[in-house]
Chains A and B, each alone.
Chain A
């Protein structure tokens, strides 16, 4: 058995791309909220909870849907190890705005519960019934070396079959999701897949 990258997906401000194929593009440069809704519609998701999520979770959920939405995976066979830079900055600012004035002090529970970066992992797990290990690491850019080390160790030590890894980061002005599905496969059927090594992030140009 060896670990290969089986699938990949990317959402940037101009395109949503699955395994190299454009799913949605954003020629009119819609703002994040509207653009994410377009992707939601294009993926034909029926998941009203989506609208309750903050931008980071919406982005992570959509990218995961593009990655594994059409597959049949057992939840306890999947781990999720993601990198992120700005944590929950966008929700953090919203929470602070709600408590800026002592006279009009109304922190919102629905905002506060999104003020942690690992909530995106929780949302992915709920949607896809994933019960494996999941961890969120903070990094300036995708640190493929670290993620590769961590994920490889997971496959060796814990018998996971799959791991969703990559980088998801969100601020209103700037956002990116690059996700990879690494899987433990028979060496003989490695043709349609990609090498999982310390530069696996280069699979997405």
Chain B
């Protein structure tokens, strides 16, 4: 059975549709700004924040939390692009790391009931809003959650339980995560610089992304190349809960499993969208893993310089951006990368490559808990 990506949305500081976000990246814009807001952190910091002034339509419904409003907008926009979806045959798979964590803050003054912080409650809220028969499943695998969610959706369709799935991922910028990454000394005081010699850590961003996947294609009217979710794999480093394996063992295993599940060989991969968080250990680990697998010549980019690290959204919005690059036959630059700062050779996309045809693209992620995930997309046609 083939599973296709049929419609999508990205909601971030750069825009509230996939097209807006993609154009912004082509124009070399970034969502990462200096933020001075003592509700988020005592001192100024860098991050990607979706602002009310810029996108008032995302702040309309008081009945819902900030994150829920982002999810609702993102899913609605994606569904509009896939009007032939049957709600009774559609699964809902949600990816998030912290969900409505802002409701748990001792300083929270709103009126949302405490249960709303439960991730299963987030699924219920969205399922009811969209009138789905499926009550929703939430995957919480740290920073790989988005890719895990896509693979879970694929599984739910392959086992015949559903024909379509709404796969949505999101996380907000909260004092919880900012203060946490600050105390881990993992946040950069400049916009994050993936793979660069001067990289100093991550920039956090808030975002939400939705991909509609289906066993039928095309259910959309526009004439554009078909994208199949070919296969994926996951693996654990079994090394440390908050630092990646020095040898990239888990990432290598995840990629190998994805290749096997996709029934292709490693030589078929022609483009890599990597995790590239811009921490010293993550980027180095990725370089070792890609090099060992013989992928050091394959064009590779990280989109963290545009969006920041969007945690539960990352795997989904970066998969959508991967697909969009495949459809448009071009590759986006790795924003803020200047000088090679990892020990192994990587073919990092420095400037936009305007003519690039990718047939098999690899998307990878790694996260806390030692988890790694890889997913492969195939494009049909031109």
Contact = CB atoms under 8 A, between A and B. Distances in A.
A86 B255 CA distance: 31
Interface in A116-152: 116-119, 121-123, 125-126, 128-140, 146, 149-150, 152
Nearest to A75: B238
B180 A87 contact: no
A119 B369 contact: yes
B158 to A, nearest CB: 7
Give the secondary structure class of B's interface: mixed
Given A97-B106, A113-B241, A130-B236, A122 B118 contact: no
B241 A122 contact: yes
Interface in B265-284: none
A96 B105 contact: yes
A149 B161 contact: yes
Given A118-B140, A133-B233, A158 B257 contact: yes
Interface stretch (A11-19, A65-73, A99-107, A176-184): A99-107
Contact of B120 (A114, A121, A135, A139): A139
B180 A92 contact: no
B179 A107 contact: yes
A21 B238 CA distance: 30
Q: Interface extent on B, as a size class?
A: 35 or more
Contact of A135 (B123, B152, B175, B239): B152
B253 A136 contact: no
Given A115-B180, A134-B236, A135-B152, A157 B261 contact: yes
A131 B253 CA distance: 8
A109 interface: yes
A85 B104 contact: no
Given A102-B42, A107-B182, A122-B236, A135 B141 contact: yes
Nearest to A113: B242
B38 A102 contact: yes
B371 A122 contact: yes
A84 B155 CA distance: 20
3 A-B pairs closest in CB distance: A122-B369, A112-B180, A138-B138
19 contacts: A87-B119, A99-B179, A107-B179, A107-B183, A112-B180, A112-B183, A115-B176, A116-B97, A126-B239, A131-B235, A131-B249, A133-B233, A134-B371, A135-B141, A138-B119, A138-B138, A149-B155, A150-B152, A150-B155
